Amino acid sequence: MTKKRKIYITEVALRDGSHAIAHQYTIDQVLKVAKALDEAHVPYIEVSHGDGLAGSSLQYGLSRTDEQELIEAAVSVCERAKVAVLLLPGIGTMKELKQAANLGAKMARIATHVTEADVSAQHIALSKELGLETVGFLMMAHMAPVEKLVEQAKLMESYGADTVYVVDSAGALLPHEVKERISALRQHVSVNIGFHGHNNLSLAMANTLVAIEEGATRIDGSVRCLGAGAGNTQTEVLIAVLDRLGIETGVDLYKMMDLAEDMIAPILPVPQEITRDSLVLGYAGVYSSFLLHARRAAKKFGIDSRDILIELGKLKVVGGQEDMIMDVAAKIAKEKV
């Protein structure tokens, strides 16, 4: 990794981090964090409900503040950075995407399950029509063989995506699996390749570095690890590591350190660490945003949250099936009687 090249960071704490704080971001928090990220020269800042545009609901978790207001707040303080939004077709609609673009969002990340890229065609097309930088986001990438991932990435490329991401939503991929996936995409698609990791198996940094080594140039991070499950690749640490490797990001390391310590740490309800529950997310291959939902279900039924997560992994439950968490918990509780 000695070759000099530029890596473009997307900071996801104001979207993925929403899961960790039960979607309770305030306008003031977003204003301060987005401004600090902009001043640190982070090129992209993602702002949405944790489950993307229109995610605020009983099923996914109700937001404290309307996400369009949060997007508008972030745009208002960003002089250099581009504000990005996430959209999961079936949750968010074209209406919300148009609203976000009108408010000044410059990037749309259209996310689907790793085998369902076909549902993204209209949304990717609209994003391009709106003049947005457009990303195809293939979630739960551990659940498909490499050949299937390549097939789905080529679909997103054909729809007009500027970048296609391998998204380790469960933090379940091992470094050699990341290597295989990024290498295969590099060989078969001509657009930019991105990687989004979670730290449930303590592999987010290792996986990210492997992805970069194999040719990924668009990388996600969350400052202070503020993200679902055990968090994402820790942005300020990643900046330091890439600097040591001679890989350019353009991000100010000291300012990111200060932001992590002075602004993000106080927001976290508890420090981000690999707990028994988040470890099980990676071990069982379960969507990282299921963590708080599983804990609530375990408390309601008086059972071990790990049992719920292991069963969800066996069932191969994916994002959008949060309603099954209570059903699984009820079943486990009944069997223990």
CA atoms within 13 A on the CB side of 158: 11
* 155: CB partners within 8 A, 6+ apart: 117, 118, 120, 121
Q: Is 287 annotated as a binding residue?
A: yes
8 Å CB contact between 31 and 64:
no
Q: Is 16 annotated as a binding residue?
A: yes
Q: Which amino acid is at 164?
A: V
DSSP state of 316: T
Q: Of 138, 211, 213, 212, which is closest to residue 170 (Cα–Cα)?
A: 138
Q: Is 48 annotated as a binding residue?
A: no
SS3 category, 133: strand
SS3 category, 59: coil
SS3 category, 245: coil
Token duo for residue 169: 């939503």
Q: Is 196 annotated as a binding residue?
A: yes
Residues facing residue 16 across a β-bridge = none
SS3 category, 231: coil
Vertex 112, ends 201 and 296: CA angle to 5°?
55
* Catalytic residue selected from 19, 113, 142, 293: 19
Does 142 qualify as catalytic in the annotation?
no
8 Å CB contact between 3 and 219:
no
CA dist 176 and 46 (Å) reads 28
CA atoms within 13 A on the CB side of 161: 30
Q: Is 63 annotated as a binding residue?
A: no
Q: Is 169 annotated as a binding residue?
A: yes
8 Å CB contact between 185 and 164:
yes
CA dihedral sign of residues 157, 160, 165, 166: negative
Binding residues: 15-16, 169, 196, 198, 287
List, by residue number, the catalytic residues.
Answer: 19
Binding residues for substrate: 15-16, 169, 196, 287
